[in-house]
Amino acid sequence: VPLLIVLLSMEMGIAIVVETILSFVGLSVASDTPSWGNLIQEGRQYIHQVPWLLGLPVFCLIFSVVGLNALGDGLKQVIDPVSRR
């Protein structure tokens, strides 16, 4: 069970990236639904006028995926002390 928690926290990052890619290309949620991919797609249209419309969702996406991976790594080290070496 503890290793399942670690695996789930790592897989959440992958799920977020997959959903972002699918919604960016228009294959996931509706275009009026807030999603990382939809926000990035809309921000891409206005990159020259207001660059933070693209930069902020990309930064938040990277921050959340790296954060989930760090959480999974930390949980793995706490749960399995042998892997610390």
How far apart are the C-alpha atoms of 68 and 83, rounded to whole Å?
19
State the pLDDT at residue 10.
84
Give the 3-state secondary structure of residue 27.
coil
pLDDT tens-place values along the chain, 85 residues long: 677 887 898 899 999 999 999 999 999 899 889 999 999 999 999 999 999 999 999 999 999 999 999 988 888 888 877 766 5
- Residue for token digits 């997959």? 18
State the pLDDT at residue 65.
95
